[in-house]
Amino acid sequence: MKTAILFLILCVLALSPGCSSVTYNYDYDKSADFAALKTYAWVTAPSNPAAGVQSALQRNDLLDKRIKESVNTQLAAKGYAQSAENPDFLVLYHTGAQDKINVTDWGYGYGPYRYGYGGWYGGGVDVQQYTEGTLILDIIAANAKHLVWRGSATAALNPDAPMEKREKRLNEVITRILAKFPPTAAK
Per-residue pLDDT of the chain (187 residues; tens, 9 = 90+): 433 333 344 444 443 333 458 999 999 999 999 999 999 999 976 665 555 555 555 567 888 899 999 999 999 999 999 999 999 999 999 988 888 888 887 666 555 555 555 555 556 777 888 888 899 999 999 998 999 999 999 998 888 889 899 899 999 999 999 999 999 865 4
Residue type present at position 153 = A
Residues 12 and 57: their CA atoms lie apart, in Å, by: 12
Burial of 46 (0-12, 13-18, 19+ CB in 10 A): exposed
Task: Please name each of the domains of the chain with its CATH number.
Answer: 4-186 (3.30.160)
* Angle formed by the axes of helices 163-178 and 61-77, nearest 10°: 40
Q: Which residues pair with 28 in a beta bridge?
A: 149
Amino acid 176: pLDDT: 97
Cβ atoms of 164 and 139 closer than 8 Å: no
Residues 11 and 163: their CA atoms lie apart, in Å, by: 8
Computed on alpha carbons and rounded to an integer, the radius of gyration of the chain in Å comes to: 21
pTM over the 0.85 mark: no
